[in-house]
Amino acid sequence: MKPMISVIVPVYQAKEYLRPCVESILAQRGERKNHLQEPVIEIVLVDDESTDGSEHICDEYAGIYEQIRVIHKKNEGLTAAWKTGVELAQGEYVGFVDSDDWIAPDMYARLYEKAVETKADIVCCGIRHIFQDHSHADWDDEMQFPEDTYTQQEMRGKVYPSFINDGSFMGRGLQPNRVSKLVKRSLVMENMYLCHNDVTVGEDYQFSFAIFLEAPKIAIIKGFLPYYYRINTTSMTGAYDLRYMDKIKCMKEQLLRISRVKNVYPFEQQIWNDFLCLVVLHIKGGIMAQKKDGFWAARKNIKRVCEDADVRKALETCNMDRLTKAERLFLAFMKLHFYFPMYLAVSLYFKA
């Protein structure tokens, strides 16, 4: 029987977590409602040239379960991996699960039911972030839209004005995660050319942005958080990524390109505002990483970031009108090159 849903699992060096991930997808079930049959699901494991044994686990599962297929490809990164999976998928809809995460047993039954009920091209749910070492409280994230179904015309009037930035710091209306969505495969295929492999920060942002601007109808299941996103704190080191500025610039340029190609709403200023928020987080991260070394060690990077031409433009054009007084003051410090007050603010008010 042809699958209704293809679940794409990009796999890279995930030996420790891959089995629980795949087992959670195999365990998918749901109550039959409105005379709908439980969706037939296939699993596409895309091994991105793993060397830790994950590749053998993929083959093992494919040998046992006929609904599991595996492809081994050369390492090209996450975006290239899921794109390969979508190309091989046979289902009308595609979903995504990352190989170190897991999902609730009713996730795809409920998403599929909503898709059939509303005739939606995209159905969204929420995510529960789980800290593996329990060092922080788990936190939930879901789409911050007032309604649960939208046509493209309704999106333009009710959602797009605050889609990327609503005037507050990191005020994103769009929850960009690829894994919290069930999407018609045809819609993904039509927009894959807008998802560049070289975007390494905001990979999912370009995916969601492109498909949302194209989808005739979108549905949301509010309060439903069936996806468990594992946060491995042992891999979250204090190392500071000096290339991060280049990475978020790449993401910004890609979002601007998608906006121009789709041409459904003037998103440019929202994208610049969002970029500026990421820059502030980057400065904060740099100061915290170099906190033990003192101000002069951090000053060089603060200066480099604040003098960047794109950052200057973002500061000059910023129109976020819902910032707190402290946030507005920090942006003023950036604009005036007041590096020590910036350093002091981060050092005093943030924890590592």
Q: Which domains does the chain have, with CATH numbers?
A: 5-235 (3.90.550.10), 244-349 (no CATH)
The predicted model gives 224-236 an average pLDDT of 81
Give residue-wise pLDDT tens across range 31-60: 555 555 678 999 999 999 999 999 999 999
Band of the pLDDT at 134, cuts 50, 70, 90?
Answer: confident
Task: Map tokens 């990475």 to a residue.
Answer: 247
The predicted model gives 232-236 an average pLDDT of 57
Identify whether the C-beta of residue 239 lies closer than 8 Å to the C-beta of residue 278.
no
**What is the predicted pLDDT for the residue at 144?**
84
Band of the pLDDT at 105, cuts 50, 70, 90?
Answer: very high
pTM for the whole structure: 0.93
Band of the pLDDT at 74, cuts 50, 70, 90?
Answer: very high
Give residue-wise pLDDT tens across range 246-267: 999 999 999 999 999 999 999 9
Q: How many residues does the chain have?
A: 352
Task: Copy the structure tokens of residue 212.
Answer: 């949302």
**What is the predicted pLDDT for the residue at 81?**
98
SS (H, E, C) the chain: CCCCEEEEEEECCCHHHHHHHHHHHHCCCCCCCCCCCCCCEEEEEEECCCCCCHHHHHHHHHHHCCCEEEEECCCCCHHHHHHHHHHHCCCCEEEECCCCCEECCCHHHHHHHHHHHHCCCEEECCEEEEECCCCCCCEEECCCCCCCEEEHHHHHHHHHHHCCCCCCCCCCCCCCCHHHEEEEHHHHHHHHHHCCCCCCCCHHHHHHHHHHCCCCEEEECCCCCCEEEEECHHHCCCCCCCCHHHHHHHHHHHHHHHHHHHCCCCCHHHHHHHHHHHHHHHHHHHHHHCHHHCHHHHHHHHHHHHCCHHHHHHHHHCCCCCCCHHHHHHHHHHHCCCHHHHHHHHHHHCCC
Using the predicted structure, report yes or no on whether residue 236 has a pLDDT greater than 80. Answer: no
